[in-house]
Structure 1
Amino acid sequence: MEVDSKTVLYVEDDPAYVLLLKRALQRSKLENLPKLRVVTTMEDAVRYLLGQTPYEDRFANPLPSLLLTDLRLPGKSGMQLVQWVQAQPQFQHLPIVMLTGTALDEDIVLAYQQGVNFCLVKPADVDSLVNIILVLSVYWIPPPTKATI
């Protein structure tokens, strides 16, 4: 399975926060902005990752290099999505970042126990989100290649 090094799958049901993230990406001034693919539920995220309808076109919907998910989703939670991803051999190396609106210690501890790479409290302002994006950009900016002589 070919992974697109610049695609981020973002699972978020709040359109205002999706807009905030898109704005922060633009303000980050990164040369290599990721292709952001947004779904609103765990079920849609699973369909996307598996390439099921309506996401079967892998050119339009490439496998992501990063899964960014909200903790609280309609229906099944972001935590259930993390558990599902970790149970799939083909996705065990997919980095997962969980965003949460609450800073409950037990949620954060559980997220790390389930295999989340980073668990972050959602910032309310664009500038704080820009800083997070700059740190996360390591997942979609390819490493420098050695010059051949």
Structure 2
Amino acid sequence: MEAQQYIEVLLIEDRFEDAELAIDSLREGGLINQIKLLKDGQEALDYLFAEGSYEDVSPGLPKLIFLDLKLPKVSGMEVLKRLKTSEKHKHVPVVVLTSSKEDIDIEKAYDLGANSYIVKPVDFDNFSNAVRQVGLYWVVLNTSPNS
């Protein structure tokens, strides 16, 4: 088994453009050094629960998870449900970062334990600013039981 690795932010996003922009925004803000990108819901679950291709990896708990809802293989809602029902992961802040403005998605995400729900702004500057501000709050300012 590999040594436990520490990731500050876990980004679960299938769209390369959105992932690249989020990562650049966090790094430009000087907030984040360790970012792990996972491109679908199954990969995220495998990574977080040390299953499948990640069964030999023992990831530490991230300080923050950005989660898209519309993911291939396993939906973001299912990933959120598994995280928030897991004793190990339930206190890790999960910020839903998605294009869905649907009330049903917003309500379900909060019912499942999302800590925040952000609709991806279409505008580059607004998207970048939103990610940077959320990262600042959850990674630097927030005190959690995992700190």
- Give the TM interval when normalised to the shorter protein: 0.7 to 0.9
Deviates more, 1:47-56 or 1:102-111: 47-56
Q: Secondary structure at the match of 1:68?
A: strand
Could you report, residue by residue, the CA deviation over 1:29-83 in whole angstroms, capped at 9, with x for unpaired residues? x3x324110111111111111234336444xx54211111101001221011111
TM-score by length of 1: 0.79
Q: Which residue of 1 aligns with 2:17?
A: 16
Deviates more, 1:132-141 or 1:85-94: 132-141
Task: Please tell me whether residue 54 in structure 1 is matched to residue 42 in structure 2.
Answer: no
Question: Contact conserved, 2:69 with 2:96, CA < 8 A, in 1?
Answer: yes
Could you report, residue by residue, the CA deviation over 1:74-93 in whole angstroms, capped at 9, with x for unpaired residues? 12210111111112111111
TM-score by length of 2: 0.80
Q: Which residue of 2 aligns with 1:147?
A: none
Deviation of 1:13 after TM superposition, in Å, equals 0.7
Q: Which residue of 1 aligns with 2:82?
A: 84
* Alpha-carbon RMSD: 2.4
Counterparts in 2 of 1:97 and 1:34: CA distance versus 1, 3 Å: farther
Q: Which residue of 2 aligns with 1:42?
A: 41
Q: Secondary structure at the match of 2:114?
A: coil
**Whole-angstrom CA distance in 1 between matches of 2:120 and 2:69:** 10
How many residues get paired? 138
Unpaired runs of 5+ residues, structure 2, are none
Q: Name which one, 1 or 2, has greater alpha-carbon Rg.
A: 1
Question: Contact conserved, 1:34 with 1:140, CA < 8 A, in 2?
Answer: no
**Whole-angstrom CA distance in 2 between matches of 1:45 and 1:57:** 13
Letter of the aligned partner of 1:48 in structure 2? Y
Unpaired runs of 5+ residues, structure 1, are 145-149
Identity level (%): 28
**Whole-angstrom CA distance in 2 between matches of 1:36 and 1:124:** 23
Counterparts in 2 of 1:63 and 1:143: CA distance versus 1, 3 Å: closer
Deviation of 1:143 after TM superposition, in Å, equals 7.1
Letter of the aligned partner of 1:75 in structure 2? K
Q: Secondary structure at the match of 2:67?
A: strand
Question: Contact conserved, 2:21 with 2:128, CA < 8 A, in 1?
Answer: no
Q: Secondary structure at the match of 1:134?
A: helix
Deviation of 1:142 after TM superposition, in Å, equals 6.6
**Whole-angstrom CA distance in 2 between matches of 1:136 and 1:49:** 20
What is the aligned counterpart of 2:115 among 114, 117, 121?
Answer: 117
4+ long deviations beyond 4 Å? none
